[in-house]
Chains A and B, each alone.
Chain A
Amino acid sequence: MNAPQPARAAWLGLLARSPRGAIEARLADAPALPGFVRLRGPEIGMSMVRGRAGGGGAAFNLGEMTIARCSIRDEDGFVGHGYVAGRDGDLAELIARLDAALQNAARHPALHAALLAPLAADEATRRAADEARAAGTEVRFFTLATMR
């Protein structure tokens, strides 16, 4: 129904992947979030995760995972949705509030600077550390054909 919103998808993904403690710590320096009413939830449910072997072929059901979600509307009239893996309904509600505030052009820059940019940097650090750890165990296969 709605057009894709890549920027919004990016911040929702970043918030969903970030640890709750990190979000709350960064939020302490950010301007306060507006008041809100809950539209739905927070509620906990299951979602089927589907995948494709090797990124191609027919989709198969990988397994179910627990998801908490919440939808809110804030005082500025923006509707925010929060989805997070696990059973933390309060975190889903917090992400929904952040999603609503981030859609507001008046609030976005401050929140981006205080919250999204540091979280993205944290994630990049985490990812680089994981990759460095994995790189140490890399095994290079080669055949005689490529040695010639």
Chain B
Amino acid sequence: MNTLTPGFASPLDAQACFRALLTAFGDPGRAITLADGLAPPAGLSIAAAAVLLTLADATTTLAADLPAPALHWLGFHTGAPFTTPEAAEFCLAGSAPPLASLRQGSETAPEHGATLILDLPDLDTGRRCRLSGPGLAAPRETTLPLPAAFLADWAEQRLQAPRGVDVLLCAGRRLLALPRSLAIEAA
């Protein structure tokens, strides 16, 4: 028996999510709340599911560590081929893998770096961080649910700019972007 459930009800939902992603990447560290309406299968938050339905398609590769029904759902609605986290353009994970293990892009084509989507229980508990960089007129102090190892990885990744990985933190209906140009320091 098949357990597939519907994805976005209308293409407008994908456009609204794309708009939210633009806002999130343009204002790093600010949590954006997506509209209600999507009912993803178990193992996927609404925000992570919406991001993948919006961004992934048959021309992008996807890696996700999820139960089989959720993988089937993503495969059906996005059409994206699945691959290993090391080779994927979109990598969905519950905890951050070493950033250097993901696709970094090249000096001439940094856009081929991976986008890491972290599906977390919530966005509000964690360590205090100071964010600065493009998109932020003044440094922003916020709490990010990220381990110390991630911050060390991040500092290392910034040394090889423009190569690197962009990160999206998702929890429930909220998402928060960490573009690779951002500086993150423990506050």
What is the minimal beta-carbon distance from B62 to any residue of chain A, in angstroms? 15
CB contact under 8 A between A73 and B2, given known A39-B7, A40-B7:
yes
User: In the bound complex, what is the Cα–Cα distance between A114 and B155 (angstroms)?
Assistant: 68
A79 at the interface (CB under 8 A from B): yes
User: In the bound complex, what is the Cα–Cα distance between A79 and B2 (angstroms)?
Assistant: 6
User: In the bound complex, what is the Cα–Cα distance between A78 and B1 (angstroms)?
Assistant: 7
| Chain A residues with CB under 8 A of B76 | 39-40, 71
Contact A38 B2 (CB under 8 A): no
Question: Which residues of B (1-53) have their CB < 8 Å from a CB of A?
Answer: 1-2, 4-7
| Chain A residues with CB under 8 A of B4 | 39, 71, 73, 79
Residue of B nearest to A77 (CB): B1
Question: Which residues of A (20-79) have their CB < 8 Å from a CB of B?
Answer: 37-40, 71, 73, 77-79
Per-residue CB contact flags for chain A residues 71-103 toward chain B (1 = under 8 Å, else 0) read: 101000111000000000000000000000000
Contact A40 B77 (CB under 8 A): yes
Number of A residues with CB within 8 Å of any CB on chain B = 9
| Chain B residues with CB under 8 A of A37 | 6
What is the minimal beta-carbon distance from B82 to any residue of chain A, in angstroms? 11
User: In the bound complex, what is the Cα–Cα distance between A1 and B79 (angstroms)?
Assistant: 13
Per-residue CB contact flags for chain B residues 85-125 toward chain A (1 = under 8 Å, else 0) read: 00000000000000000000000000000000000000000
| Chain A residues with CB under 8 A of B5 | 39, 73
What is the minimal beta-carbon distance from A43 to any residue of chain B, in angstroms? 8
Contact B2 A77 (CB under 8 A): yes
What is the minimal beta-carbon distance from B35 to any residue of chain A, in angstroms? 19
| Chain A residues with CB under 8 A of B1 | 77-78
Using a CB–CB cutoff of 8 Å, the interface residues on chain B facing chain A are 1-2, 4-7, 76-77
Given A37-B6, A71-B76, A78-B2, 5 new contacts (CB under 8 A): A39-B4, A39-B76, A40-B6, A77-B1, A77-B2
Using a CB–CB cutoff of 8 Å, the interface residues on chain A facing chain B are 37-40, 71, 73, 77-79
